[in-house]
């Protein structure tokens, strides 16, 4: 990529897309393009094709998706499967048809089987059953990975898939019905603190292990893939280490200054017992994370405080 190469970031206002945009601007890329959902409906294949035909980007970064936590996946399975397939199919097929050579597809660690050996290696894909609480989103993302692999194999184009671990950071979703565990905890502990340090109730037992990556580190991985031709079709992106949910809760409680009790509702599901990524393929080719979890949580909480009025409820 040259600094004036035209790069289209799908989902440029989301957490990951906006982080990629910031990193590219910092590296002095000067020809970035993005469209809001009101300007371009990524679920509409003809609209996407017409847009790509007109703009002729040199590369596409697909950071657009319908995302959410356990509750959202459970309550809206059709939307999570269909809408994510529509978005990625429109972009991938459009890119192929107009001859775009570089495509970076972003997925999730939930593509791997629920009880796959730990840490998760790329070759574990499709070797066993998925976690039922998010299989709809996972199935959509698996089809995206396989489409990019097929194009790479059949047409010899530089289409690569990056599978991040649990991401958090600036512009995260803090809606308690649809957010992931870390931003949900930040909001719960903050609101409990300002309500007289009320007790905070959290789902599950707190025993599952989870890995987290600050979103700006993920953006750096995307830019690394943009600037280099990676030898394989699928790469895990993460910190390569995990933490118990109970320990995560204690860390967030400390950062927010909450001094009340934590109640664990063991009647609620825990989800996958452990999800740790094997990131050796990425580290071998030259990328590694920079932001430690404590530092990232402080940055995220400070951003949340500055933007608290703009944190909106997500309408499903």
270 among the known binding-site residues? yes
286 among the known binding-site residues? no
Query: What pLDDT does 313 receive?
Result: 52
What separation in angstroms does the CA of 280 have from each of 222, 263, 287, 293? 16, 37, 10, 19
Torsion of CA 115, 290, 19, 1, to 10 degrees: -100
E strands of 15-94, at which residues? 32-33, 59-62
pLDDT tens sequence across 218-241? 999 999 999 999 999 999 999 999
Residues recognised as catalytic: 137
Quick one: how far is CA 24 from the chain centroid?
A: 18
Q: Hey, how many other C-beta atoms are within 10 angstroms of the C-beta on 270?
A: 15
Phi, psi of 274 (to 5 degrees): -155, 140
Phi, psi of 145 (to 5 degrees): -60, -45
Residue 26 in this model has a pLDDT that exceeds 50: yes
287 among the known binding-site residues? no
Query: What pLDDT does 199 receive?
Result: 97
Dist CA 7 CA 123 (whole Å): 30
Domains plus CATH for the chain? 7-310 (3.40.50.720)
Residue 315 in this model has a pLDDT that exceeds 90: no
Phi, psi of 203 (to 5 degrees): -70, 145
Residue 254 pLDDT class (50, 70, 90 cuts): very high
pLDDT tens sequence across 179-200? 789 999 999 999 999 999 999 9
Dist CA 224 CA 129 (whole Å): 32
276 among the known binding-site residues? no
Query: What pLDDT does 115 receive?
Result: 87
Q: Hey, how many other C-beta atoms are within 10 angstroms of the C-beta on 41?
A: 16
With vertex at residue 240, the alpha carbon angle to CA 235 and CA 243, rounded to the nearest 5 degrees, is 135
Phi, psi of 112 (to 5 degrees): -90, 155
Query: What pLDDT does 288 receive?
Result: 94
Dist CA 208 CA 246 (whole Å): 8
204 among the known binding-site residues? no
Residue 258 in this model has a pLDDT that exceeds 50: yes
Phi, psi of 210 (to 5 degrees): -135, 150
13 among the known binding-site residues? yes
106 among the known binding-site residues? yes
Residue 309 pLDDT class (50, 70, 90 cuts): confident
What separation in angstroms does the CA of 134 have from each of 81, 84, 155, 238, 301? 10, 13, 32, 19, 26
């Amino acid at each position: 990529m040259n600094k004036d190469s035209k790069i289209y970031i799908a989902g440029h206002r989301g957490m990951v897309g906006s982080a990629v945009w910031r990193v590219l601007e910092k590296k002095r890329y000067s020809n970035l393009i993005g469209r809001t959902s009101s300007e371009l409906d990524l679920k509409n294949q003809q609209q996407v094709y017409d847009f790509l035909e007109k703009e002729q980007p040199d590369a596409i970064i697909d950071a657009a998706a319908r995302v959410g936590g356990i509750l959202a996946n459970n309550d809206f399975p059709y939307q999570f499967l269909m809408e994510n397939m529509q978005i990625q199919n429109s972009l991938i097929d459009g890119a192929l048809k107009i001859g775009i050579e570089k495509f970076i597809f972003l997925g999730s660690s939930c593509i791997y089987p629920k009880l796959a050996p730990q840490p998760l290696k790329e070759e574990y894909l499709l070797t066993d059953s998925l976690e039922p609480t998010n299989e709809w989103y996972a199935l959509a993302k698996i089809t995206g990975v396989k489409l990019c692999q097929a194009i790479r194999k059949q047409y010899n184009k530089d289409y690569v898939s990056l599978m991040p671990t649990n991401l958090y950071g600036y512009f995260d979703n803090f809606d308690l019905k649809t957010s992931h565990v870390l931003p949900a905890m930040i909001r719960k502990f903050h609101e409990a603190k300002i309500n007289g340090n009320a007790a905070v109730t959290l789902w599950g037992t707190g025993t599952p292990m989870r890995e987290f990556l600050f979103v700006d580190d993920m953006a750096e991985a995307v830019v690394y893939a943009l600037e280099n031709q990676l030898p394989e079709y699928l790469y895990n992106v993460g910190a390569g280490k995990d933490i118990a949910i109970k320990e995560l809760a204690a860390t967030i409680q400390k950062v927010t200054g909450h001094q009340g009790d934590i109640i664990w509702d063991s009647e609620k599901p825990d989800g996958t017992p452990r999800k740790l990524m094997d990131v050796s393929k990425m580290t071998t080719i030259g990328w590694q994370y920079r932001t430690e979890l404590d530092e990232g949580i402080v940055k995220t909480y400070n951003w949340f405080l500055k933007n608290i009025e703009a944190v909106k409820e997500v309408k499903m």
